[in-house]
Amino acid sequence: MATSVRFPLATSVRFALAVVTAVTCSPLGVSLQAQQAGFADDLAPDREQLFTDLANDVEALNRELGIYKRVARLVSPSVVHVESTPLPQYRFRRDVEEAGSGVLVQYRSKDYVLTNRHVIKHSQEDLIWLELNDGRQLQPTRIWSDVETDIAVMSVEAKNLLPARIGNSDEAEIGDIVLAFGSPFNLRRSVTRGIISAKGRSNLDLGDGEVVYQKFLQTDAAINPGNSGGPLANLCGEVIGLNTAIASNSGGNEGIGFSIPVNVAVRIMRQLIEQGRVDRGFLGVTLDGSFDSASARYVGLNQLQGARVKDITANSPAALSSLLVDDIILKFDSLEIEDDQHLINLVKRTEIGRKVELVIFRNRQMKTEYVQIGRLEDFVGKIDNH
């Protein structure tokens, strides 16, 4: 094993030295070896043409790749560095974050900073400082937050703020190029690039387990501690997500980061600002916790998937639709249902009044049904139903 490790390293070093020797140039732009061989006059014209061709190709490529610089110039002024001094009771805990990121947004002509709750949850308004891209510092005048989605909103007052342009995260597709902005390891004004690796990630074990409503965008754009709350932008310069978490064995970037879709974040923000709380969606079905692999095979499914309806609440959205007891809900709003809890989380996070497409399995056949999501608070007495 020692030989297999050393062999490619030794080979690489020798190769690198050979390349350096070959391309070391004299002031005339011709390699020393070529001069010594008497080939300078023959190689110089070809070499200059190669440099010219290369410059032309780079110029053409820059016209395409220069879009990254344009996105960075448009989004960066809206990125905020967040410093939050923990309250005394939290200051010696290793799991407490003291720095993160945020993004300036505007709602009804007022300015706010959108970020993750976990960035500021151990602090309070007078202990939080926001540093703008131009170096100005200010403090929030009011803070709202939602535990279960890890969203926080801070109202701010200052002149000449540049709010970000908000995109549509529902339109993001796997493979889309994205840029992540923020302050990784306290390094302000950092930008990384990657793609959308997956959509609808859920059932992630995040911190103390408070974030229960999950529907993350997954990206391989480098996300590290300090990026939390910063924007994930598409190539149109639109924010489509809030960078929130990483899957890592080392504590740093390993190419698996997660962002809250901006459609979710903005919906939560609006409710927090307007009413100081977040309404949860309600479907009106009781799910069968005993539905297992054997049950799935018995009804005709090849594998355990979805959630089976055990009961339907009277006058609920499910009752007003065509859902029936024993239906197996396989998809909710195009997302495949992993288990009961996954469906519950999706329903509660869905906008009130939205009509959602369900793919169900009934009598060994696939069917499509539509249901208009209700408000959980209207059925608060039926707490076991979803």
Q: What pLDDT, on the 0 to 100 scale, is given for residue 32?
A: 45
Count of all residues that appear for the chain in the document: 386
Closest CA to 264 of 116, 131, 127: 116
Give me the active site residues, please. Answer: 118, 150, 228
Mind listing the pLDDT tens digit for each residue in 334-378? 888 988 888 988 898 888 999 999 999 999 999 999 999 999 888
Q: What pLDDT, on the 0 to 100 scale, is given for residue 16?
A: 30
Q: What pLDDT, on the 0 to 100 scale, is given for residue 40?
A: 53
Give the pLDDT mean for 149-153: 94
Give percent above pLDDT 90 in the chain: 58
| Residue 6: pLDDT over 60 | no
| Residue 50: pLDDT over 50 | yes
End-to-end CA distance of the chain: 56
The CATH 2.30.42.10 domain(s) of the chain lie at 281-379
Q: What is the DSSP letter of 31?
A: B
Q: What are 229's two structure tokens?
A: 């709350």
> What are the residues whose beta carbons fall under 8 Å from the beta carbon of 58, sequence distance 6 or more?
none
Fold adopted by 53-278 = Thrombin, subunit H (2.40.10)
The rounded distance, in Å, linking the Cα atoms of 336 and 366 is: 13
Kindly indicate the confidence band of residue 44, based on its pLDDT and cuts at 50, 70 and 90.
low
Low-confidence winner among 41-50, 97-106, 131-140, 158-167 (lowest mean pLDDT): 41-50
Candidate ranges 122-126, 244-248, 379-383; pick with highest mean pLDDT: 122-126
Q: What pLDDT, on the 0 to 100 scale, is given for residue 20?
A: 31
| Residue 270: pLDDT over 90 | yes
| Residue 2: pLDDT over 90 | no
248-to-126, 197, 252, 297 alpha-carbon distances in Å: 33, 16, 6, 36
In this structure, the strands spanning 165-166 and 238-246 are: parallel
| Residue 135: pLDDT over 50 | yes
The CATH 2.40.10.120 domain(s) of the chain lie at 53-278
Q: What pLDDT, on the 0 to 100 scale, is given for residue 3?
A: 29
pLDDT averaged over every residue in the chain: 83
Residue 348 vs residue 29, higher pLDDT: 348
| H-only helix segments in the chain | 2-23, 32-37, 40-75, 117-120, 262-275, 293-299, 317-320, 340-349
Mind listing the pLDDT tens digit for each residue in 296-331? 999 999 999 999 999 999 999 999 998 999 999 999
Q: What is the pTM of this model?
A: 0.75
Fold adopted by 281-379 = Pdz3 Domain (2.30.42)
Q: What pLDDT, on the 0 to 100 scale, is given for residue 186?
A: 82
Residue 214 vs residue 101, higher pLDDT: 101
The rounded distance, in Å, linking the Cα atoms of 198 and 195 is: 9
Q: What pLDDT, on the 0 to 100 scale, is given for residue 345?
A: 84
